[in-house]
Structure 1
Amino acid sequence: MNIKKNPHTQLKKKKRLDLNLLVYFHAVYQTGSVKHAASFLNCSSPNVSQSLQKLREIIGDPLFIRDGQQLSATTVAARLYDETKDNIHELLYSIENLSEKIQRKLVIECMPYFSIKITPLITLFLQSKNIDCEIVQMSHTTVESVFWERLSLKKVDLVFGMKVDLEGSKMGYRLGSDTCVLVCRKNHPRIIDSYIYGFDVTESITKIHSDISELHKMRSLNNDYFQNSPCSLQAKSLLAICSHISVSDSIAIIPSSFYEKFKEVFNLKSLKTNLQMPDFDEYMYFNKASSDKELYLELYRYVQDNYDKV
């Protein structure tokens, strides 16, 4: 009589099957002993015995019968071994290779301007540790909760950016701080070396468009100025803002490190002003449960020690 097996029962068995059970089974089959298998796998005998018992329950066969000091394989065990001996090694090899490939990729997320500061430091750190690793850099300019969610779900390894409120699963370390400067193009028709709000002609401004709370300081510290001055551009990118400034009469507040790196490229000059220039702390964040926590802490110390040298 041909009895069809219940597909739901088969699915349950597949869910219960742990690849490690087959590893323990192969070790016992090859050594003929739970004790020798435990020694071979560098684990405890009870651990091997418990794994065998789980596999027995799934297969529905005792698998091994004691024959003096040795364990003798049943016909089911012999067939199971023959069916899996090649595949198990190929599968384990593939998993090990996949693990190595995953470990050779470091996914970081940070604001575009901040990547200019942090990417070379990460590169130098990996070189100093002789780690062959692909850096995957993602940009964030959206609400903080979005990239915190990606960090929690381990879609990214590290987040670099401004200080934010942490949840319990995240670890944050201060790297340093940055200040801001007021800038315009060098050949501005009215501004020479200073801009005094309330005295000089009101100039149009550019604004960085972001939901990141620390960036709001650029407006909140000078709230009246940003409300009363005409806006010529809103952009998420500092490169876009500086490109706009380089050919317009607008002015902008930008991070000083970005200004120092690109002032000649965009023909910019910094201005003395009575406007209050914001400053902000910059942090490195990762998940507490990360398997690479010690390596990330070494990276943090390296970045902190070399933060002002790049």
Structure 2
Amino acid sequence: MDEKKLDLNLLPIFIEIYIHQSITKAGITLGLSTTAVSNALTKLKSHFGDPLFLREGLNLAPTKIAHELFSYLQDDVDKLVRNVNSFGKINNFSQISVHCSPYISTRLLADVSNIIWQKNPDCEIIHRSNFSDTKNNIQGVRLRMNDLFFDLKPNLSRSMINTAVLDDPLCLFCSKQHPRINQLLCGDVSHETFIAFETPDEKFNPQKFHIRKTFGERLTLLKSDSCFALLSIIEDSDKVGVLPKWLYGKFSQSFDVAMIDSSNQLPSASIYMIYNKSNGMSDIAESIVSHLSPTRIAAPVALKNVN
């Protein structure tokens, strides 16, 4: 390692490269040119005597030294945030960002917003639904103090608190005009192919494993975190969709779809609330959990016959 004093201005650049695994994306976030970010990384490599990042496809994979450096920086940032929060004990934020997909916003955002406004009627709530880059968004929340995430999977960072706030049972949907509608309503899905509700960046989760175990290769590759897109596809095709049961009670009058009474015991999709343990939002988070816990498991919806 170079004994010369490290330029601390390089560390925010390192953090953004680590989070985004890309020099270009780090530059966009920081408002710097790609050349400036590359030069900063070169200086960091020289200081630590390590490449820090190795090319892995389109991304930059952190080395062991880079992982350790990020971990140390994370601890220091968390300590700084705790100190800032304790100075003045901020209980009422003037602005809170709520990050969640379109489906989860339809499911929970009204309740979450009302709870926040009960705590602070003047709080400005910003809904962010850009979940195509969920991992990077949640990593970046460490550096801000007023963010809540709701997602279909927990975040494994030791800086984040994860609480399952709602379990949505999954079920099978099909078009009311499906060519085998009578067999489907009797639970016979042996000749069908399926499309599943999941976020595009998911690599593995228990629901996906169970669905693939149940339906095997008949599960198609189409996946989306937009339930409205999937409902539109289901009502105009012969595919069967695996979607949250709550949707049927909420939107069955808007889409020409039917819920199938299947003997397959599909899992529930858990919705997690995620926030930085140092951000001082535990009071709001506890209120959200307290409000949602009585209805944690969504009530079943009665099946309706197709005329």
Q: TM-score normalized by structure 2? A: 0.57
Higher Cα Rg: structure 1 or 2?
Answer: 1
Pairing 1:11-160 to 2, within 5 Å after superposition: 103-139=93-129, 141-142=131-132, 145-154=135-144, 157-160=147-150
Percent identity over the alignment?
A: 23
- Measured in 2, the distance between the counterparts of 1:261 and 1:141 equals 23
Kept after mapping to 2: 8 A contact 1:175/1:303: yes
2:232 equivalent in structure 1:
243
> Would the alpha carbon gap of residues 153 and 233 (structure 1) be closer, same or farther in structure 2, given more than 3 Å must change?
same
CA shift for structure 1 position 117: 1.6
Q: 2:275 aligns with which of 286, 291, 300?
A: 286
Pairing 1:259-278 to 2, within 5 Å after superposition: 259-278=248-267
2:82 equivalent in structure 1:
none
1:187 equivalent in structure 2:
177
- Measured in 1, the distance between the counterparts of 2:125 and 2:208 equals 34
- Measured in 1, the distance between the counterparts of 2:121 and 2:296 equals 20
- Measured in 2, the distance between the counterparts of 1:187 and 1:148 equals 41
Kept after mapping to 1: 8 A contact 2:166/2:295: no
- Measured in 2, the distance between the counterparts of 1:295 and 1:106 equals 11
Deviations 1:226-267 (A, max 9, x none): 543374844341110001111222110001122321122112
> Would the alpha carbon gap of residues 146 and 231 (structure 1) be closer, same or farther in structure 2, given more than 3 Å must change?
same
2:159 corresponds to which letter in structure 1? S
Kept after mapping to 2: 8 A contact 1:197/1:275: no
Deviations 1:128-187 (A, max 9, x none): 335222221122544653232022222761011234253221112221311100001223
CA shift for structure 1 position 275: 3.5
- Measured in 2, the distance between the counterparts of 1:306 and 1:227 equals 32
How many residues in Structure 1 have an aligned counterpart in Structure 2? Answer: 206
Q: Which moved more, 1:135-144 or 1:253-262?
A: 135-144
- Measured in 2, the distance between the counterparts of 1:224 and 1:176 equals 24
Kept after mapping to 1: 8 A contact 2:100/2:129: yes
Q: Does 1:170 align with 2:160?
A: yes
SS at match of 1:212: coil
1:121 corresponds to which letter in structure 2? D
RMSD in angstroms over aligned alpha carbons?
3.1
SS at match of 1:183: strand
1:206 corresponds to which letter in structure 2? I
> Would the alpha carbon gap of residues 171 and 268 (structure 1) be closer, same or farther in structure 2, given more than 3 Å must change?
same
- Measured in 1, the distance between the counterparts of 2:250 and 2:240 equals 18
Kept after mapping to 2: 8 A contact 1:183/1:270: yes
Deviations 1:170-218 (A, max 9, x none): 11222131110000122322123134243xxx2333234522356x444
CA shift for structure 1 position 305: 4.6
Kept after mapping to 1: 8 A contact 2:119/2:284: no
Q: 1:196 aligns with which of 163, 188, 194?
A: 188
- Measured in 1, the distance between the counterparts of 2:266 and 2:110 equals 27
> Would the alpha carbon gap of residues 166 and 222 (structure 1) be closer, same or farther in structure 2, given more than 3 Å must change?
closer
> Would the alpha carbon gap of residues 308 and 164 (structure 1) be closer, same or farther in structure 2, given more than 3 Å must change?
closer
Any gaps of 5 or more consecutive residues in structure 1? 1-99
Moved over 6 A (4+): none
Kept after mapping to 2: 8 A contact 1:204/1:232: no
Q: Does 1:210 align with 2:200?
A: yes
Kept after mapping to 2: 8 A contact 1:110/1:161: yes
Q: TM-score normalized by structure 1? A: 0.57
> Would the alpha carbon gap of residues 148 and 239 (structure 1) be closer, same or farther in structure 2, given more than 3 Å must change?
same
Kept after mapping to 2: 8 A contact 1:184/1:249: yes
- Measured in 2, the distance between the counterparts of 1:251 and 1:155 equals 42
Any gaps of 5 or more consecutive residues in structure 2? 1-89, 300-307
